[in-house]
Amino acid sequence: MAVNGDQLPIIVGVGQTVVHWDGEDTDAAPSPLGLCVDAATNALDDAGRGAELRNLVDTVAVVRTLEDSIPQSPYPFGRCTNYPGAITEQLGLRASRGVYSAVGGDQPQCLVNEYAVRLSRGECAAVLLCGAEATSAFKTASRKHTPLDWASKSDFPFEDRGIGEPLSTRAERRAGLGWPTNSYPLFEEAYRARLGLSRDDYLEEMAGLLEQFSEVAAENPHSQFPQARSAQFLKTASKANYPIAGPYLKWHVAQDAVNQGAALVLTTVGAARKAGVPRDQWIYLHGHSALKDCHLGRRPDLSRSQSLTASLSDALQRSELEPSEIEFFDIYSCFPCVVFLAAEALGLDWRKQRLTQTGGLPFFGGPGNNYSMHAIASVVERLRSAPGSFGLVLANGGYLSKHAAGVYSTEAPRNWMAGDSSAMQSQIDAAAIRAEVDASDQSFTGRVESFTVVHGRQHPEYVTLAVRHEDARVFVKVGAEDSDLARELATGLDPIGASVRLAAAEVNPQSEPNGASSAYELIHIDLGEHRASVAATKESA
């Protein structure tokens, strides 16, 4: 059912904060809770009617911190066990409901989508969304052996949505995956191969994109790393830009050592008007969508993301807009492939269209699950400065696993309604492929679909290959000590398309917490033509 008039949901306040703490003054050390409170205070003040909104806010939803997203975190400085309650009490709000989000960088936009619907249905009057990370303070204090006190308790009732199901399988983790910097390279290399680019050419592409992003971050007062970096620096391995996992160097990936917080205040047109919030503060959510992909092993094409493409398409279609009508974009940028795939899906040239308003996760900073709260706040500020324009935010979680999109404007939507992406989700689910080969096949041949070389401090540690066999994909890990493969790949060899023979490996069920799952070992890889290609390239150079 379409919603119009006083029940239309709007954002009326945005707030951000950043702290550059050097570790010297313990009293000045930021905490996730303190950053949340500061950002929320800024958002309430931004609305222009802070006192009225404090009385109106009945729901506080907080994005899950990075520490609380990792099982068995040690919490050396203690922890806040109830963020919604602590924030409600410190701000003196009258809120009666609290939520602590699930894990994922998609959560800020997902929460906006969810509470926009709830507001439109009259289920709440005003909502405070916030989140923060103080990972930089944590690392600095740990290194300096400086004691901090982050412990906080509250009896405020709240819903803890938990960590959720693992975003990787046991087989994927056994093959060296299951961590963003080790998993995203498979998408990056597969996308490069689909474009037909050499590894050096693709490195140039990544450096060009990231140079642009760093320039935006350098001008952003909320950036954690406000320094413009040249494409030359970004494409060159060095002590300051060392290899992590091919094709990535340090400054190609999200930097989590930040002290940043962001917050949004949402309400309805009717409530904002009654509270006296100035009209030029109102930002409407137009189309919105949230979709997810299956595990890496079951995705039909590692060079694409079904949930990314579909969420963008769904949000724009519900907004009745074309990409060319959007002026301000902020595309999640934990790794370059997310931006490249979004630009491709939108039909945009990233060289001509700026795809970040913050500066991106490598340079603005990557505050855990909460980055897109900053993105939304930044887009809101841009829209207020250009009334009548439109902005789009794409949030990403997991390993290109979950995507949430939102379209925003100072102009009211013609026919706003709650998004229902269930049909698209069913199509994504139905496209999944097999993630293991028939156990009766003790050995089998396949072709390398993608790969990465994971680096240690001094040298490559291991290679992970994604291998396609008929309608199945499997992963195999090859230790650097077991093969020259890591050295060859680290020095420029491109194995994509190479024929390989794998064998089923034995797995001890007792070593697996939930039973055994398939594992594979490399018997042979045919790199003859690939080696010849590299040799010819070097000779011509």
Half-sphere exposure (Cβ direction) of 510: Cα atoms closer than 13 Å: 0
Q: pLDDT of 243-254, one tens digit each?
A: 999 999 999 999
Give the Å distances, CA to CA, from 534 to 192, 388, 538, 541.
Answer: 17, 53, 6, 11
Query: What's the token pair of residue 396?
Result: 């990403």
Single-letter residue type at 15:
G
CB 107 within 8 A of CB 63: yes
Measured between alpha carbons, how far is 177 from 173 in angstroms, rounded to an integer?
5
Specify the pLDDT at position 508.
Answer: 60
Specify the pLDDT at position 483.
Answer: 78
Specify the pLDDT at position 532.
Answer: 61
| 381 pLDDT more than 70 | yes
CB 220 within 8 A of CB 16: no
Give the confidence band of 504 by pLDDT, cuts at 50, 70, 90.
confident
Give the Å distances, CA to CA, from 376 to 63, 329, 367, 386.
Answer: 14, 10, 14, 15
Poorest-confidence range of 213-222, 227-236, 487-496? 487-496
Q: pLDDT of 18-57, one tens digit each?
A: 999 999 999 999 999 999 999 999 999 999 877 888 899 9
Torsion (CA) 180, 339, 308, 316 in degrees, nearest 10: 150
- The per-residue pLDDT of the chain, averaged, comes to 93
Q: pLDDT of 340-376, one tens digit each?
A: 999 999 999 999 999 999 999 999 999 999 999 999 9
Give the confidence band of 97 by pLDDT, cuts at 50, 70, 90.
very high
CB 303 within 8 A of CB 193: yes
| 401 pLDDT more than 50 | yes
| 447 pLDDT more than 70 | yes
Measured between alpha carbons, how far is 118 from 465 in angstroms, rounded to an integer?
45
